[in-house]
Amino acid sequence: MRINLALLKGDGIGPEIVDSACHVLDTVARRYSHDIAYTSLLAGGCAIDATGVPLPKETLDECLKSDSVLLGAVGGPKWDTLPGHLRPEKALLGVRKALGLYANIRPAKLYSALADRCPLRVVDDFDILIVRELTGGIYFGESGRRNGQYGEEAFDTECYSEKEIERIGRVAFEAAKKRNKKLTSIDKANVLESSRLWRETMHKLSHEYKEVEYADMLVDNAAMQLIKNPAQFDVIVTSNMFGDILSDEASQLTGSIGMLPSASLGESTRGMYEPIHGSAPDIAGKGIANPIATILSVAMMLRYSFSLEKEADCIENAVVKTLDQEYFTGDIGGKMTNNEITDKIIENL
């Protein structure tokens, strides 16, 4: 199989972790007789520096031509004072919207090798799949500033349509069918009208999936329950902002945010794959960034976009073996460099 992959290495540690993931992907591709063609593109802060905008038209056009997109990370303090429409994060929102990537899939699991490195004492192993709506909600609603009673005020609007909720709900129910047949929908229906529509739509949808155990949970309680007993969850579905926050919370239960991959998907097989962490400019260029989340994102790409299950398993099993051998980067209590742990994972493929 020939795969045309768009690379958005981005800012901070982005280039380092994407390079590591590509080394692993190239090794797997050679062993399974696949051909990977890469196109490196500008997005985020580096694109602002070079072109004045976070998402150049050339980048977006090439992403639309690609089979899938691999992203490192964007942003950093250097660009924090820019107006909202020029912030590096606008590149992510722009790619997601243009490619129609409305479903963000974020797995969070506790690897046995990292159980004693979790900042919290988690009693039971857990394996959670968080399904986050990605192109609606408060991040895409009307926003601005205006004169108010007490001076300048700012507003951001949460808005969801029944169609948007239904399509992300189907992704979550279908995922639950393939796992432990348990789905928890998280909202704030006691306060927000958008959440009340969310809950009503999810309830209607649940009648089509009677084999899936379905439950609602308020977001504040969900944040508490993730800490108290993460093993109670199988698949979680929630809105854009709630999903962003809760998946970062879940990452800390795994030992490090550097362990969590993600996939952004739409109606086609083309997706965007990225670690859930940021650009970590404080450690950029030091060679100590944890590449595992990006490497696992490549495994998700092989599985979700190209149905290459054996190749995806090969990468995931190599990561588990490397961790079981107690090879760790600094964020999970070890001393391995980015390149060293990448080499170990490649040895274990």
CA torsion through residues 72, 332, 233, 280, sign: negative
Residue-wise burial string across 311-348, b where 16 or more C-beta atoms lie within 10 A, e elsewhere: bbebbbebbebbbeeebbbbbbebebbbeebbbbbbeb
In SS3 terms, 139-207 reads as: HCCCEEEEEECCEEEEEECCCCCHHHHHHHHHHHHHHHHHCCCEEEEEECCCCCHHHHHHHHHHHHHHC
State yes or no: is 67 an active-site residue: no
| 244 is a catalytic site residue | yes
Active site residue 116: no
How far, in Å, CA of 190 to CA of 196, rounded?
Answer: 8
What contacts 231, CB < 8 A, 6 or more positions away? 122, 123, 124, 125, 126
- Core vs surface per residue 55-68: b (16+ CB within 10 A) or e: bbeebbebbeebbb
- Selected catalytic residue, list 11, 67, 244, 331: 244
Residues 11, 102, 111, 139: which is the catalytic one? 139
Is 220 designated active site? yes
Other C-beta atoms within 10 Å of 224: how many?
12
Cβ neighbors of 109 (< 8 A, separation 6 or more) are: 125, 126, 127, 128, 254
Exactly one of 102, 111, 188, 304 is catalytic; name it. Answer: 188
Distance of alpha carbon 51 from alpha carbon 59, whole angstroms? 11
Q: Which of 125, 220, 313, 324 is catalytic?
A: 220
Question: Of these residues, 19, 26, 127, 248, which one is catalytic?
Answer: 248
Residues annotated as catalytic are 139, 188, 220, 244, 248
